[in-house]
Amino acid sequence: MRGIVVLTGAGISAESGIPTFRASDGLWENHRVEDVATPEGFVRNPSLVHRFYNERRNHLFTVDPNPAHTALARLEKESGSPVWIVTQNIDDLHERAGSDNVIHMHGDLLSSLCSRCGARRDGVRSDMDEHMVCGDCGAVGSLRPDIVWFGEMPYRMGDIMPLLESCEIFLSIGTSGHVYPAAGFVEAAVSRGAYAVELNPEPSLIHSHFHRRIAGKAGECLPELVDEILKGTLLP
């Protein structure tokens, strides 16, 4: 059965109080991407990188899913078709809202990765630092946040591409289309026959590839879009 793929970006968590990256008050205004979101930045200054992610992890514990996350969980439960969320976000708000089929292509704020042995451990809730010891290989200082930085291969591309190539509906919610390979997903889906909808208050860099654009906030517009899909009135 052809399913539904939903690509989500920072915009879906904005109404929960998590800053986006490229807004005027976004994360990249106060931090240089090269310093906090590249493997080279981590080697140069692990303490700075740990501080950046520790602050974001601690903030995550203070926020809740918003109606956009809840609407996607409802779509998964009530749709007769398989629904997959491919999120670029490293927060756990989709899971907390009740979604089960979530692929975190850019990693997970609540997981650690050993840059020496590759072991990943989830359930990280306390601050990380450059003195930590890997519980798997015993290396000191090799543990990093389990995040996909620039120049690194996003997770589960081998699962994502077949989902894009077989889906009937592709939704893109709250992503600016600056970062690849995620920005290329709409073309992969549309070229194989998917109907594509973008939901974003501003047109993304890739908006022209979509059949329909909804200008608005995810928390306000996604519940209605989900209703349309569940009623079977979305497709022309």
**Residues near ligand BJW (CB under 6 A):** 9-11, 14-15, 20-22, 26, 37, 88, 90, 106, 147-154, 157, 174-176, 178-181, 200-202, 204, 217-218
Minimum distance from CB of 80 to ligand BJW (Å)? 27
Q: Which is nearer to ligand BJW, 100 or 180 (CB)?
A: 180
Joined tokens for residue 50: 């740990």
Largest CA distance in the chain: 57
Minimum distance from CB of 3 to ligand BJW (Å)? 21
Q: Of these residues, 104, 106, 131, 211, which one is catalytic?
A: 106
Minimum distance from CB of 154 to ligand BJW (Å)? 6
- 183 Cα distance to chain centroid: 12
Using DSSP bridges, classify how beta strands 107-114 and 120-122 pair: parallel, antiparallel or unpaired: antiparallel
- Assess whether 104 carries a catalytic annotation: no
Q: Which is nearer to ligand BJW, 137 or 180 (CB)?
A: 180
Q: Which is nearer to ligand BJW, 3 or 155 (CB)?
A: 155
Instruction: Report how far residue 49's alpha carbon sits from residue 147's, in angstroms, rounded to the nearest whole number.
Output: 11
Q: Which residue is nearest to ligand BJW (CB)?
A: 11
DSSP H helices, the chain, are: 11-14, 27-30, 33-36, 39-44, 46-60, 67-78, 93-97, 157-166, 185-191, 218-231
User: How long a stretch of residues is the chain?
Assistant: 236
Active site residues: 106
